[in-house]
Amino acid sequence: MSGTIHETLRSLLCELGIAIRDAVITQRCGLDAVALSTVTGQTGGDTIFAIDKFGEEAILKWFRSHWPNEHPVQIVMEGLDSELCFPEGTAVSSTDWKCIIDPIDGTRGIMYDKRNAWALAAIAPQSGDQTMLSEIIATSMTEIPTSRHWRADQFSATRSGNLIANAFDVRLGMNVECDLPKPSRATNFENGFSSLVKFFPEGRTLTAQIEERLWDELVGLNRSPSPVIFDDQYICTGGQFHELMTGRDRLIGDLRPLVYRTLDIDFSGLCCHPYDCCTAMLLQKTGVIYEHPLGGFPDAPLDTESGVPWIAYANEILAAQARPVLNKILKQFLV
């Protein structure tokens, strides 16, 4: 019975992602980057832009119209001024599920029409403030394409099921064939894309020092007339996961909470949060190695404030090469 419920929840999260995607595509028409990037508020230290409202409004509308009453749920996402449950009026203590959502992961890229964004959602049995990322039983990530892209991918899974891949042709308004994603099978890092997250000026120097030491020990810097490690910063966790799942990147790590703690920087609005990495189960379904940079699973409560450091390797061979080296370096650089 639980498997049936989990599959129902997975399907609902996919429908939610589609509603968010379609709302953003429709409502951004006729608006330029200035309008879409207007700052409308601050939540939990993060900046809320005008385009974010499209996703938030789509979520509220969809839950009111489509969420089944027999599965009372609490919603966790940025922008909520109070606890929100569906059916509306339900007390948190009476909900069975907790659903964490990032309406638009990659706002900064999509509002300038630079790079695709992602609608992320995951759900876990309700355990109040103790509900953790490790307890997620179903998740979905839905691509929100720029105006220049015709295809939008969607990946979803339940804890006990296989990964499901779909794609949508925005031009024709129809689903198209989509192969299951396959991570890179490379056995070394040379001539491939790998990076540590350093989007913002804060902490960039220390992160770059760690990264340079890592590659110096793994591949040897200055031994070739041209660079052998390529860096591509996709400014959203969902996009980074997609690059790993589809074989484009071999290593991506987000050390920001660890770096900011070392530098005594308030990282609340500058790092990966649980809603950003709530779809990590999809990485694991493809064989990508996803873990805490210092070992173990990068667990955290399903909230909007916790910082989540993580590292992901395209396969176990690459992980076995880099893990011990990175661990040694982190112990040298971080407190």
pLDDT, tens digit, 9 for 90 and up, residues 256-305: 999 999 999 887 678 999 999 999 999 999 999 999 999 999 999 999 99
Looking at residue 1, what is its pLDDT? 47
Q: Which two tokens stand for residue 33?
A: 């980057």
> Domains in the chain, please, with CATH?
2-176 (3.30.540.10), 192-333 (3.40.190.80)
User: CA 307 to CA 327: how far, in whole Å?
Assistant: 19
87: preceding bond cis by omega (within 30 degrees): yes
Looking at residue 14, what is its pLDDT? 98
pLDDT at 169 over 90: yes
| CA angle, residues 4, 9, 13, in degrees to nearest 5 | 150
pLDDT digits (tens, 9 = 90+) for 212-254: 999 999 998 766 666 789 999 999 999 999 999 999 999 999 9
Percent of the chain with pLDDT over 90: 80
DSSP character for 132?
Answer: B
DSSP character for 133?
Answer: G
**Residue 54 pLDDT class (50, 70, 90 cuts):** confident
pLDDT digits (tens, 9 = 90+) for 107-160: 889 889 999 999 999 999 999 999 999 999 999 999 999 999 999 999 999 999
User: What predicted TM-score, i.e. pTM, was given to this entire model?
Assistant: 0.93
User: CA 86 to CA 75: how far, in whole Å?
Assistant: 8
Looking at residue 43, what is its pLDDT? 64
Looking at residue 77, what is its pLDDT? 93
User: CA 304 to CA 84: how far, in whole Å?
Assistant: 14
157, 285 Cβ separation under 8 angstroms? yes
pLDDT at 28 over 50: yes
Task: Pick the closest to residue 211 from 105, 104, 326, 328 (CA basis).
Answer: 326
127, 105 Cβ separation under 8 angstroms? no
106, 238 Cβ separation under 8 angstroms? yes
Tokens 């999809």 map to which residue?
A: 282
**Residue 315 pLDDT class (50, 70, 90 cuts):** very high
Task: Pick the closest to residue 99 from 144, 69, 140, 157 (CA basis).
Answer: 140
